[in-house]
Amino acid sequence: MQKRFVSIWFRYLVTDWLCIRKPELLHVPFVFATSIQNRKVITAVNSIAEADGIHTGMPVADARAMVPVLEVFDDKVDRNVKLLKAIGEWCIRYSPIVAINAPDNLVLDVTGCTHLWGGESQYLHELISRFKSRGYYIQTALADTVGAAWAMAHFGLNGSVIESGKQAEALLPLPPTALRLEMEVLERLHKLGLYQVRNFVSMPRSVLRRRFGEGILQRLSQALGTEEEPLSPIHIIEPYQERLPCLEPIHTVSGIEIAIQKLLDVLCQRLYKESKGIRKAVLRCYRIDGRIEQVAIGTNKATHHIPHLFKLFQIKISSIEPALGIELFVIEATKVEEISPSQEALWLENAGQNMEEVSELLDRLSARIGAECIHRYFPEEHFWPERSIKLAVSIIDKPTAIWPTDRYRPTLLLSKPEKIEVSAPIPDYPPMTFRYKDKLHYVKKSDGPERIEREWWLDPGEHRDYYQVEDQEGNRYWLFRSGHYSDTATSDWYIHGFFA
């Protein structure tokens, strides 16, 4: 099969990218510039600035003299390459082979792909319309060679399709620049009056080599198809996913367990070699009736321990309905983290095992009762009770502060204090009774007040006077009055926590 290539030229790559993020620049002349030898030089222009005569390589001072309202943004090194790589990865849906041709071009090997879009012309039309909808202006062409496709994308009609074997005819009227020649070679060609490819393509190769070097012969051969041009395609990192098709539909629990075990064996072996572990994983079961059954697990610590992961999935098997049977199992690790082996003490028995056992126990509990039911907290260096604790992300996290022990604090703290009705002597006595959730509590013992000032640099408001109280049933609560007692206004009281 004759190979076919598509060249995509992003004429305004960087400026289109900025317009997508800042739509207000769509009708404004602007450029990107960088410092070269102590002066600002333009590296990219948008279509409006280009229409005003501004071009890349021009000093910013000269450009602003021509267009006083010109906007200038600082360029970053390799920004265009990073953009091309990201766009190229997105283009994998159109071809499995996508290569970057810096500074503003992508090359797609579309051999055997275009029929999926109804033909080569429809294929290019799809690319042009899709990129236009995303905010990028592109020029494309399709030919037998990378060189011919690149030349027609830059110097031919947008969406040109060169018939197979007709690239030589298409190249003849184009300027020498279309062959991607070096600037010195182009200057020599122009001095000799060779302004089109047809003027020198039929010259003897020895003459061209002697006058212009080996480079022009290589570019001609690549464009005409007598020499293959190598590509360096973008490689997408494969997802951590394994598939297991079934010869016969699976209906039983034991069959599902065997499938999970086989998938975990392969996936965890790969993770082990890469020193990585699973934090989140999903099992998808494709039934023969077209429905998909799905279960997910999570771990507190990255792991590739197969028995532990199998137990977590085993807990969820009861929620899978095989119905007429499952024909395909797919397991995917949706979140993967590096595993750094912890240093262990050689002289301790079972050294380093406690943390692993606790982590696996928490994983199994989370799978049964839900991860939202298990929390681990760290102290935060704040006086205000709501800000004095934070939730740990995983079991391997370490606190950045120590728990204060000079004051008693409740074992359960409400995320938001709840208002209560209180009867209390004045001015700084603890309450005698309080009503919480329609139940009246009689205070038998109390301690306080403990005044906690609001962190005024974070938010304004009143201080709080906290009391520890015990009701007639022996239950202990953490109550507070907001602000100072006032003779003219009723003080607001709140419940904020519960003691063990």
Q: Which string of DSSP letters, residue by residue, matches 47-62? A: HHHHHTT--TT-BHHH
Q: What is the mean pLDDT of the segment spanning 86-103?
A: 91
Residues 194 and 318 in one domain: no
Same domain? 75 vs 192: yes
Q: Is the dihedral of CA 356, 361, 367, 371 positive or negative?
A: negative
Which one is predicted more confidently, 480 or 392? 480
| pLDDT surpassing 70 at residue 338 | yes
Q: Are residues 271 and 420 in the same domain?
A: no
Torsion of CA 16, 20, 22, 25, to 10 degrees: 40
Residue 352 confidence (pLDDT) above 60: no
Give domain status of residue 194, yes or no: yes
* Residue after which a domain boundary falls, among 180, 214, 236: 236
pLDDT band at 88 (very low <50, low <70, confident <90, very high): very high
For position 9, what pLDDT does the model report?
96
409 vs 160: which has the higher pLDDT: 160
Task: For residues 170 and 232, state if they share a domain.
Answer: yes
The per-residue pLDDT for 415 is 83
- pLDDT of residue 442 exceeding 60, the answer is yes
**pLDDT the model gives residue 406:** 76
The rounded percent of the chain whose pLDDT value lies above 90 is: 61
Measured in residues, the chain has a length of 500
Q: What is the mean pLDDT of residues 190-208?
A: 92
Q: Are residues 37 and 164 in the same domain?
A: yes
Full 3-state SS string of 63-82 = HHHHCCCCEEEECCCCHHHH
Residues 102 and 160 in one domain: yes
Worst-scoring range by mean pLDDT, 21-35, 174-188, 335-349? 335-349
Average pLDDT, the chain: 88
**Mean pLDDT of the region 48-74:** 93
Helices and strands, counts by H and E, the chain: 13, 20
User: Exposure pattern of 116-143 as b/e (b: 16+ CB <10 Å)?
Assistant: ebeebeebbeebbeebeeeebbbbbbbb
**What is the helix (H) or strand (E) element at residue 443, kind and residue range?**
strand 439-452
Tell me whether residue 494 is exposed, middle or buried, using C-beta atoms within 10 angstroms of its C-beta: 0 to 12, 13 to 18, 19 or more: buried
What pLDDT score does 355 carry?
62
The pLDDT value given to residue 412: 86
**From CA 362, how far away is CA 350, in angstroms rounded?**
19
In a domain, 400, yes or no: no
Give the pLDDT mean for 124-153: 95
Examine residue 280 and state whether it is found in any structural domain, yes or no: yes
Q: Which domain holds residue 276?
A: 241-342+351-356
- Give the model's pLDDT for residue 19: 94
Residue 141 lies in a domain: yes
Q: In this structure, what CATH number is given to the domain that contains residue 312? A: 3.30.1490.100
pLDDT at 345 > cutoff 50: no
pLDDT of residue 257: 93
Does residue 354 register a pLDDT over 60?
no
For residue 293, pLDDT over 50 is answered with yes
Check residue 131 and give its pLDDT.
Answer: 94
pLDDT at 343: 46
pTM for this prediction: 0.57
Mean pLDDT over residues 304-331, rounded? 91
Express each pLDDT in 209-233 by its tens digit: 999 999 999 999 999 999 999 888 9
Please tell me the distance from the alpha carbon of residue 433 to that of residue 485, in angstroms, as a whole number.
17
pLDDT above 90 (res 5): yes
| 191 plus 224 within the same structural domain | yes
Q: How far apart are CA 190 and CA 174, in angstroms?
A: 13
Interatomic CA distance for residues 254 and 256, integer angstroms: 5
Q: Is residue 369 part of a domain?
A: no
Choose the final residue of a domain: 211, 236, 261. Answer: 236
The answer to whether the beta carbons of residues 420 and 395 sit under 8 Å apart is no
Amino acid, res. 401: A
Among 13-22, 101-110, 246-255, 375-384, the minimum mean pLDDT is found in 375-384
**Mean of the pLDDT values across residues 351-367?**
65
Lowest mean pLDDT among 24-33, 242-251, 354-363, 410-419: 354-363
Last residue of a domain, one of 236, 261, 286: 236
Is residue 381 situated within a structural domain? no
Concatenated DSSP letters of 123-169: HHHHHHHHHHHHT--EEEEEESSHHHHHHHHHHS-TTEEPPTT-HHH
154 and 260 inside one domain = no
254: β partners: none
Structure tokens, 110:
């579309």
Return d(Cα 464, Cα 461) in angstroms, integer: 10
Distance CA 212, CA 319 (A): 73
Indicate whether 177 and 37 sit together in one domain.
yes
Contacts of 25 by beta carbon, 8 Å cutoff, 6+ apart = 18, 19, 46, 71
pLDDT tens track for 407-430: 888 888 888 899 999 888 776 788
Q: Is 70 exceeded by the pLDDT of residue 276?
A: yes
Asked if the structure places residue 407 within a domain, the reply is: no
3-state class of 297 per DSSP?
strand
Instruction: Assess whether 86 and 35 both reside in one domain.
Output: yes
- Number of domains the chain is built from: 3
Instruction: Supply the pLDDT for residue 394.
Output: 67
Question: Which CATH number belongs to the domain containing residue 108 in this structure?
Answer: 3.30.70.270
pLDDT value for 299: 86
pLDDT tens for each residue of 22-42: 999 999 999 999 998 889 999
Same structural domain, 148 and 11:
yes
CB 443 within 8 A of CB 434: yes
- Within a domain: residue 247? yes
325 and 277 inside one domain:
yes
